[in-house]
Amino acid sequence: GLNSPFRMVHLPVGFTYIINNVQGQQYINVNSMVDITPLEAFELIDDGFRQIESLYYVKPTELFKTLYYYYLTPKDLLMVKRFNRKALIILISEIVSAYKKAIVAPGEMVGMIAAQSIGEPTTQMTLNTFHFAGVASKSNVTRGVPRIEEILSLSENPKNPSCTVHLYKDEETKQDNAQKLMHRLEHTKLRAVVDSINICFDPDNLNTLIEEDIDTMEQYKEFESTIDGCLGETGEGD
């Protein structure tokens, strides 16, 4: 179904929300007059994507491009939703603005923002949020206090464990060593595994200034040139 987790896509821009919002602000309904042709609409949509694509360090992914043209198809916007030229221009500018607002600036404290995003909803929960009535009860997703406990690693048996640790061969059969390691991992702090931390601004990936990355980037360039060569040969054959 449409609500299947395999059909859900997380994007920095809420296309459906913005389209509905602009539609309401411009008082567009099924009887609204359309004063733009599909070809003109497509040119405006194309110009909007080029604005997003011109952002050097945060170019849109192929997934974003696909869904951009999927949601902004002229057939749906003009024939079904009855958008006019003014509404379409506002819609595209809103989408470009939303994309720019979603960009994470270098040095932004995403950890603090993530912690706030987890902590703020918990203040609006009741302590007995273990059972749900109605549609929510059909869902198998862990919610409420149990889910918060899982996120904060307070639950000893999380529903979705995600840490796999491989021991040395001579210690694989010793249960005591495995338990000792487990307890050590539970109380491991960042300073115990990190010698030093440096923030390096290195915008040119192909000519990196970081010595440790030079070999990796050279291998990447060789691999990329090999792929380009293969694609070129395939194109000539066709």
- In terms of domains, do 11 and 96 share one? yes
By mean pLDDT, which of 55-59, 142-146, 183-187 is the weakest? 142-146
- Can you give the pLDDT at residue 1? 41
Average pLDDT over residues 137-147: 58
Please identify, among 101, 118, 148, the residue that sits at the C-terminal boundary of a domain: 101
Q: Give the separation between CA 18 and CA 187, rounded to whole angstroms.
A: 44
Question: Rounded to a whole number, what is the largest CA-CA distance in the chain?
Answer: 77
Give the pLDDT mean for 161-171.
76
Residue 56 has pLDDT above 80, yes or no: yes
As a dihedral over the C-alpha atoms of residue 8, residue 19, residue 43, residue 101, rounded to 10 degrees, the angle is -80
Distance CA 32, CA 82 (A): 6
Model confidence at 138, pLDDT cuts 50, 70, 90, reads very low
Please check whether residues 173 and 136 belong to one and the same domain. Answer: yes
- Position with higher pLDDT, 178 vs 89: 89
Which residues lie below 8 Å from residue 149, measured CB to CB, with a gap of 6+? Answer: 155
pLDDT tens-digit readout, 64-109: 999 999 999 999 999 999 999 999 999 999 999 999 998 888 888 8
How many domains does one find in the chain?
3
What per-residue confidence (pLDDT) applies to 203? 76
Dihedral sign computed on CA atoms, order 65, 67, 69, 72: negative
Q: Which amino acid is at 233?
A: E
Position 235 pLDDT exceeds 60:
no
Residues 236 and 183 grouped into a single domain:
no
Q: Do 130 and 182 have their domain in common?
A: yes
